[in-house]
Structure 1
Amino acid sequence: MTDTTDSSDDVPTANDDPTWAIELTPEHPPDRIADLAALAEDEGFDIAFASSHYFNRDPFVVCSRMANATEEIRLGPGVVNPYETHPVKLAAQVATIDEVSDGRAVFGVGAGDRSSLANLGIDRDRPLRRVLETFDLARDLWAGETVTHDGTFSATDASLNLEPPSGRIPTYVGAQGPHMLRMSAKHADGALVNASHPKDLEWAAGQLEQGLADRPEEYGDFEALAFASVSVAGSEEKAREAARPPVAFIVGGAAEPVLERHDIDREAATAVSDALERGELTEAFGHVTPAMIDAFCIAGTTETVADRFAAALEHVDGIVVGSPLGPDLEDAVERASEALTRATQ
């Protein structure tokens, strides 16, 4: 974690004991995700996030299964948004995971994907404020307070009938843009920086530094984790091929400055975006170029991935090994662990 008790340390840089985290996507049955979480625990990971998309299995149900299958690894949604579910309900769900895991919960929260929310007829209004209000309110509820709130959402005399055993559940904010990054550094316990490449992580570190400069001392340590798309396998070619789907979606939602930072061919990026909008996924994946994979995914053999992890850790306090992981999930968890070990030796 970045120590914020001294202004000279208010920079999100790598430390001697970086956090290892992993994203497990509930496109598979809960029992398989629980088995993968147990494997991740055996391989030395510190946190397992269950990703949240309306078209996959419920992350809180999956986290409950993960809790039953593990003993020490921290668990939580990574990330949920406060639009599909009311923030008070989210606080109760996270507290329940803390209870069933004997105090191992973490709260991964973000603004959500604009296009996915649009599919549900939800307007992602005032995302920065809503995310901040959500975890502020959750902290009060976890502390046993009765809360009335009138802001980007409303709650009247809301309270919980359970107290999370951990007392204070760490909140990690999913962030990519400058304002969300700075807000997370000022107010949250950590940031899940949605980036894989050192160029993006270096830029994000500068934004986080600005937020840390205004962080109240009583908030304690802050941790910046690269929420990186990773695809690792014994074959470089197979790893990169498995990276095509997530990279296509990253390109489809990438802001112009991000594309410019990596000199991504605009015509190719537009072809990816247009195909995604038409629902032609195979076509979109086919338009993904090698340069896009290099920019938006850490893909390759264990050795290649280890080198990329080491480069990322120059700018963050740890890494979330995010989807797709690789063409073989169990093999990928083991290889990612080995790559992290090499990167941190």
Structure 2
Amino acid sequence: MSLSRDGLTFSARISSHEGVRPLAAKATFVEEAGFDQVWIGNDLFGEPGLVSLAAIAMSTERIRFGSAVIDPVSLHPAQIAMLASGLQDLSGDRFLLGLGAGSDVFYSWAGLTPPGPVVRTREAVIAIRALMNGESPLGLPGVADGWTEQAVLRFARPAPIYVGAMGPRMLEMTGRLGDGALPLCLPPRHVYGVIEQITAGAGKAGRSIDDIDVAACIWCSISEDRDEARWLLAKHIALYSGSLSVEALASNGLDPEEFAHTQALMLEGREDDAIRSVSASMLELGIVGGPTEVIDQCAALIDAGVDHISFGPPMGPDSMTSVKILGEAVFPALRASI
């Protein structure tokens, strides 16, 4: 399900450590660059994403914007439905509600002990959709206990629900229940397996994958200076080298030992050596290079059936310059090719 007129959707995942106003200004720049969607984070103890979403709603005119992602543990599903309905009203129905399980590490800091990730996310998706449709979740299959018939929003306004999904069970659940999916696809070709798992879930619910907007959420580093772009992606990979699933790396033809070596160098404080240790195969975790190279790599995804590419950190040496290059050089070429 593509949300753009030509069948392709391009989105940006942005952040700002400078506050709400700079983030809203970035979103405006992303809109002017020609993106279809912009997504911002909302981690517990992180940036004030909910405030930023309201600021983006008021500072942009066309672009759809979303939360990547709100968790249903630190914020009750009824509150999420209320906020989503309000953001839809404020923006003229441009808001996309990104939901996810959240981090058990962050929950532990707050003394929270929720149900398992798939269960809490599934229960939230079902309840929030009912609430945004002006109904009570009471009695719906798969919803948590405790709702009553009085649990109805005073001001309800539906919004598409995207699920931040990684593992097989979450992806299958997304296929059954989600309007969209926000899987982190590392490397980009991992999206093919993701689509297969979501398709399977959709089939179990009598749905089609065409009804679900699956965003290929990739790391992208683009610059007119090809070497600079590659160095920045290598730095990003080095920083996350110890956080990546060994199983996921191996299943995508990458060598976990290479990442372990890079992580060891990082732990020794040898960051430059760690960055230099990132091999060409390790760089396959993202899309990298100058405009022509990025066009070719994105075109390969589109040719294989991907119709939504979501560009995320590191973006490039200067993220807004990279946004401009994508909008001016990459998107027109890709759209002209379909």
Q: Shorter-chain TM-score: what band?
A: 0.7 to 0.9
Alignment map for 1:323-338 (pairs within 5 Å): 323-337=313-327, 338=329
Q: Quick one: which amino acid aligns to residue 293 of structure 2?
A: T
CA distance in 1, matches of 2:146, 2:209: 25
* Overall identity of the aligned pairs, in %: 25
Say yes or no: does 1:297 pair with 2:290. no
Cα shift at 1:295 = 2.6
Say yes or no: does 1:308 pair with 2:301. no
Alignment map for 1:144-223 (pairs within 5 Å): 144-148=134-138, 155=147, 157-164=150-157, 168-217=158-207, 221-223=211-213
1:253 maps to 243
Q: Quick one: which amino acid aligns to residue 340 of structure 1?
A: F
1:265 maps to 255
Name the SS for the 1:209 alignment partner.
Answer: helix
The answer to whether the Cα contact below 8 Å between 1:271 and 1:284 also exists between their aligned partners in 2 is no
Change in CA separation of 1:21 and 1:284 when aligned onto 2, cut-off 3 Å: farther
Change in CA separation of 1:94 and 1:251 when aligned onto 2, cut-off 3 Å: farther
2:43 to 32, 53, 66: 53
The answer to whether the Cα contact below 8 Å between 1:293 and 1:299 also exists between their aligned partners in 2 is no
Change in CA separation of 1:219 and 1:339 when aligned onto 2, cut-off 3 Å: closer
Decide which moves more: 134-143 or 261-270: 261-270
Change in CA separation of 1:343 and 1:210 when aligned onto 2, cut-off 3 Å: same
Change in CA separation of 1:47 and 1:199 when aligned onto 2, cut-off 3 Å: closer
Cα shift at 1:83 = 2.7
CA distance in 2, matches of 1:202, 1:248: 25
Q: Quick one: which amino acid aligns to residue 292 of structure 2?
A: E
Aligned residues: 330
Alignment map for 1:99-138 (pairs within 5 Å): 99-123=89-113, 125-138=115-128
Tell me: higher relative CO, structure 1 or 2? Use CA pairs within 8 A at least 6 residues apart: 1
CA distance in 2, matches of 1:206, 1:139: 25
CA distance in 2, matches of 1:296, 1:218: 29
CA distance in 1, matches of 2:178, 2:323: 28
The answer to whether the Cα contact below 8 Å between 1:232 and 1:326 also exists between their aligned partners in 2 is yes
CA distance in 2, matches of 1:154, 1:285: 51
Change in CA separation of 1:217 and 1:266 when aligned onto 2, cut-off 3 Å: closer
1:6 maps to none
The answer to whether the Cα contact below 8 Å between 2:231 and 2:275 also exists between their aligned partners in 1 is no
Change in CA separation of 1:31 and 1:271 when aligned onto 2, cut-off 3 Å: same
1:7 maps to none
2:333 maps to 342
Note the residue ranges of structure 2 that are not aligned, 5 or more in a row.
none
Cα shift at 1:201 = 1.5
The answer to whether the Cα contact below 8 Å between 2:175 and 2:202 also exists between their aligned partners in 1 is yes
CA distance in 2, matches of 1:255, 1:124: 23
CA distance in 2, matches of 1:34, 1:115: 28
The answer to whether the Cα contact below 8 Å between 1:247 and 1:292 also exists between their aligned partners in 2 is no
2:88 to 92, 98, 113: 98
CA distance in 1, matches of 2:274, 2:80: 34
Across the aligned residues of Structure 1 and Structure 2, the Cα RMSD in angstroms comes to 3.2
The answer to whether the Cα contact below 8 Å between 1:242 and 1:327 also exists between their aligned partners in 2 is yes
1:24 to 10, 14, 21: 14
Q: Quick one: which amino acid aligns to residue 289 of structure 1?
A: V
The answer to whether the Cα contact below 8 Å between 1:321 and 1:336 also exists between their aligned partners in 2 is no
Change in CA separation of 1:195 and 1:119 when aligned onto 2, cut-off 3 Å: farther
